[in-house]
Structure 1
Amino acid sequence: MLLACPVLWATTPPLELAKQLTDKHQVERYLASEKYDGIRATWINGELRSRGGLLINTPANFTANWPSMRLDGELWAGRGRFNHVSNTVLDNQPNAQHWQDIRFMVFDAPSDKPFFKRYSDYTHAIAHCDCNNLEAIKQHRFNTRAQLSQWFNELVSQGAEGVILHRRDARFNPGRSDNVLKLKPYMDSEAKVIGYQQGRGKYQGMLGALIVVDKCGKQFKIGTGFSDAERANPPAIGSTITFKYHGYTKNGVPRFASYLRQRKPLN
């Protein structure tokens, strides 16, 4: 069950946002691709911009020869390497060596065409440019939910974050709709840190739990998912963190919430 709630934070530039895949959705109407755990970005007007619209500083040759069309995707350096990407992208003076590990994984080229035609367009454009760090994410079609589930389980077992589905015939439509769906082994969301609970036992003098408030105004604690280093130096009060959870309690609080990471300002 997903809960509707008012948006408490500033809106982002026009982007398509994913809803959760549910039993009502017909998977044969969608194209599916791996969900990459990176930093979302847009290539537009010769500039690479973050989800929030901020300019991303890259080495001069990183975007050389990229197509002129708008491209939406994820800056990604491999499974389990989100922190490397985050630290590299947030560096005001781009480190050319660190950027060599990063690719821009493209999942859309917004236009007034249906998605399957957009996919064909940007795949062709990327294949015919001299761009080693630019890659079109491969899309797959499944006729049954069982086929999708089998592929999803294989990806997750290999360390993938999950799957994204784009409706084949849908035209680009900014915002959250059934045009784009996500399938993950868990759900995730964001919350603001408003306080701390002190640790006990082995965590005496360290963080025991974060006290947070989510986008719906629900206040709760997150006490798992932290490394010892994070417990010794927890996210600051007022910062935004990402957490994972498994549905909601009857009171609308995320169930089994666990810390994932601190959201950096660029996003």
Structure 2
Amino acid sequence: MSPPLRVPQPQLATLVAQAPDGDDWLHEIKYDGFRLLAVLEDGSVRLLTRNGKDWTDRYPSVAAELAELPADTAIVDGEVVVVLPDGRTSFQALQNVQSGGSAGVLRFMAFDLIHLDGVDVSRQPLDERKALLETVLGGLPGDVVQYSDHVEGHGPAFYRQACRLGLEGIISKRRDAPYRPGRGREWLKVKCLREQEFVIVGYTAPQGARTGFGALWLAAHDDDGRLLQVGKVGTGFDTALLRTLHRRLRSLEVDEPPVANPPRGAAARGVRWVAPELVAQVAFTEMTADRSLRHPTFRGLREDKAAADVVFESPAPLDADSSSGGDMGTRKARTSGVASQRSSASSRSATRTRRDRVEIAGISLSNPDKVLYADAGITKLDLARYYEAVADWILPHIQDRPLTLVRCPSGRGDCFYQKHIGENAHPSILRVAIPGDPEPYGAVRNLTGLIALVQLGVLELHTWGARRDRVELPDRIVLDLDPDPAVPWERVVDAARQVREALRLLDLESFVKTTGGKGLHVVVPFRRGPGWDEVKAFSQGVAQAVSGASPGEYTLNISKAKRRNRILIDYLRNGMGATAIESYSTRARPGAPVAVPLSWDELGPDVREDHFNIRNVPQRLQSLKEDPWKDYAAVKQSITAAVRKKVKSL
């Protein structure tokens, strides 16, 4: 079986004041839609956004038609759009189609080819890549996927015509240049309309009969990496969007303003601040000298773009772009360590703020090049980009669970445990009150919180079996299979299967994961109901049943002396205050290993305890056809009194 395709980050255009002239440039219409990379392999197509999200399910007609390409493997760059009757594309109409509104003419405008049938064509000149793309697309049976044509030379005239037709603008590209991931000046964009993305940083309450919210506070990053508010937008929303967006905003609320220049006085009254995660597309008539928007109108959410990438857009003069191409051959995409090796499971949304700082998900990382895993050369920035890559996978498991942290600010080898969160912690690290404990624990619920923990030098995330709204009621059991070093891996695998069978006798489904150490975890989700003491007693009963069936194989005694050539079935992780390593958390061990969920079918001798690390997990996730724990959230089972009684008879 061939390894999965390595998907590059997309090439991005730089905003300039006027279109370049000369025959060295090809000019295309600037579309008003979502940028997608289409990846064809194994007979099917995945549609990936700029920040690595899989949107195949959103545009099945696009994926289905691209799957008919006359090729075994391909990577096509393009934009999904809705075409209006007058031929223009409309981002707002595309948003309506996505939300189930009125149908439009959906098209995928393909404008570049990066890979074809095992060959990396990205190094070929643009005009050769486009000629090859046009030939390949000519074999498609439908009209959903269309070739994005271009004009050779005559950039200023093409731009004027585009503006007369009411188009958004044009993209000008060096015809002799290779495909280079990241933003550079070989692709230039010239806009007809004043419009750009802004980060949503807050909202106000609705007035009168309006529902949801009144207006959104907006912001962008300046050249120093500071997030600065630019005012608010209150038009362009329909009732359905007001309601759905309000629900998302409520889940992101923070106590302190995330901007460096919060409003003062009357303007600040009633503002509810949110973590800077959502990105809005906004049209406006003017941006004043003090960076305030005039007459802004909301156009839609940009779920394909990361908040950390949103900066103030000011057109550069064309002569600064060097129509001859300048020194662009030396430009490279921002890559470092693990980020240079992983595919687009996530965006590289790091923004250099100063020489010694990088911003990801709204968190400014100090000393981003600090080495945290000396044996593997892994830096703080590499760790942040790993969590950025796996955010969609780890967050459903870690959200709102009280944390015990392993912090290693000076790197692996100099670590300590931390349970409590101080008053100066970033607002994205939530404070969780624990009965009987005078100091709060921490919890996170979004990527910003995860990156804030990376900034603190956290290398391990251990979580409770309960969530912060009801810390006294657990909702999962973890049975930790911790073998003596002399025990072969095959016995650990067999032990996990035996635990699974014991749970099945109790009509309970379970899930398995590696721990980043030498053992395995068997995890049982259930509806909240019994308290900690009951759950701990039940998990002890399961452990005793498995151990009793093979007394020479297992022990329940945590003493390492009693564990010789045996596997400890550690049920003590199911008491109040006890924790277990969270899925997709790194470990403070050589090689930066990761705790990884597996399907039961995957579990075997080929998947060793040290198989996964931060360099290969993002690639694994991108190559998976489905989540190994896809049924985890759907399992509806209870640890009833009858089940607790039945365990005693196993």
Match of 2:239 in 1: 229
Match of 1:190 in 2: 198
- Aligned positions of 1:20-39 closer than 5 A: 20-23=15-18, 25-26=20-21, 28-39=23-34
- Structure 1 moving runs of 4+ over 6 Å: none
Match of 2:160 in 1: 150
Aligned residues with identical type, % of pairs: 21
Q: 2:228 aligns with which of 185, 204, 218?
A: 218
- Determine the C-alpha separation between the residues in 2 that align with 1:53 and 1:149: 31
The answer to whether the 8 A contact 2:137-2:147 is kept is yes
Moved more, 224-233 or 167-176: 224-233
Q: 2:280 aligns with which of 231, 241, 252?
A: 241
Give CA deviations for 1:58-91 in whole Å, capped at 9, x if unaligned. 1574434124431111112203543453455578
- Aligned positions of 1:77-96 closer than 5 A: 77-78=82-83, 79=88, 81-86=90-95, 88=97
Match of 1:4 in 2: none
The answer to whether the 8 A contact 1:39-1:86 is kept is no
- Determine the C-alpha separation between the residues in 1 that align with 2:304 and 2:39: 17
Q: 1:51 to 1:149 in 2, by over 3 A?
A: closer
Q: 1:102 to 1:223 in 2, by over 3 A?
A: closer
Structure 1 gap segments, 5+ residues each = 1-11, 92-96
Q: 1:40 aligns with which of 35, 55, 69?
A: 35
Q: 2:81 aligns with which of 67, 76, 83?
A: 76
- Determine the C-alpha separation between the residues in 2 that align with 1:90 and 1:42: 21
Give CA deviations for 1:150-187 in whole Å, capped at 9, x if unaligned. 3222331xxx2221111111111111111111122223
- Determine the C-alpha separation between the residues in 1 that align with 2:24 and 2:195: 23
- Shift of residue 227 of structure 1? 4.3
- Shift of residue 120 of structure 1? 0.9
Q: Is 1:112–2:111 an aligned residue pair?
A: no
Q: 1:219 to 1:257 in 2, by over 3 A?
A: farther
Give CA deviations for 1:110-139 in whole Å, capped at 9, x if unaligned. 211111111111011111333432111110
The answer to whether the 8 A contact 1:222-1:259 is kept is no
- Determine the C-alpha separation between the residues in 1 that align with 2:152 and 2:49: 29
Q: 1:82 to 1:23 in 2, by over 3 A?
A: closer
Letter matched to residue 183 of structure 2:
R
Moved more, 54-63 or 132-141: 54-63
Letter matched to residue 85 of structure 1:
L
The answer to whether the 8 A contact 2:37-2:78 is kept is yes
Letter matched to residue 212 of structure 1:
L
Q: Is 1:130–2:141 an aligned residue pair?
A: yes
- Shift of residue 37 of structure 1? 1.3
- Shift of residue 16 of structure 1? 0.9
The answer to whether the 8 A contact 2:231-2:293 is kept is no
Moved more, 211-220 or 176-185: 211-220
- Shift of residue 220 of structure 1? 2.7
- Determine the C-alpha separation between the residues in 2 that align with 1:24 and 1:76: 23
Q: Is 1:263–2:307 an aligned residue pair?
A: no
Give the structure with the larger helix fraction.
2
Moved more, 174-183 or 210-219: 210-219
The answer to whether the 8 A contact 1:41-1:74 is kept is yes
Aligned to 1:104, the other structure's residue is in SS state strand
- Determine the C-alpha separation between the residues in 2 that align with 1:256 and 1:230: 25
Match of 2:50 in 1: 51
- Determine the C-alpha separation between the residues in 2 that align with 1:171 and 1:88: 34
Aligned to 2:204, the other structure's residue is in SS state strand
The answer to whether the 8 A contact 2:230-2:293 is kept is no
Query: What is the TM-score normalised by the length of structure 1?
Result: 0.74
Q: CA RMSD in A?
A: 3.4
- Shift of residue 188 of structure 1? 0.8
Letter matched to residue 138 of structure 2:
A
Letter matched to residue 45 of structure 1:
L
Match of 2:182 in 1: 175
Q: 1:88 to 1:13 in 2, by over 3 A?
A: farther
Aligned to 1:169, the other structure's residue is in SS state coil
The aligned length equals 243
The answer to whether the 8 A contact 1:209-1:223 is kept is yes
Q: 1:30 to 1:246 in 2, by over 3 A?
A: farther
- Determine the C-alpha separation between the residues in 2 that align with 1:260 and 1:210: 9
Match of 2:68 in 1: 65
- Determine the C-alpha separation between the residues in 2 that align with 1:89 and 1:198: 25
Aligned to 1:116, the other structure's residue is in SS state helix
- Determine the C-alpha separation between the residues in 2 that align with 1:226 and 1:90: 15
The answer to whether the 8 A contact 2:233-2:298 is kept is no
The answer to whether the 8 A contact 2:200-2:216 is kept is no
Query: What is the TM-score normalised by the length of structure 2?
Result: 0.33
Aligned to 2:187, the other structure's residue is in SS state strand
- Shift of residue 36 of structure 1? 1.6
Of the two, which has the highest radius of gyration?
Answer: 2
Q: Is 1:103–2:107 an aligned residue pair?
A: yes
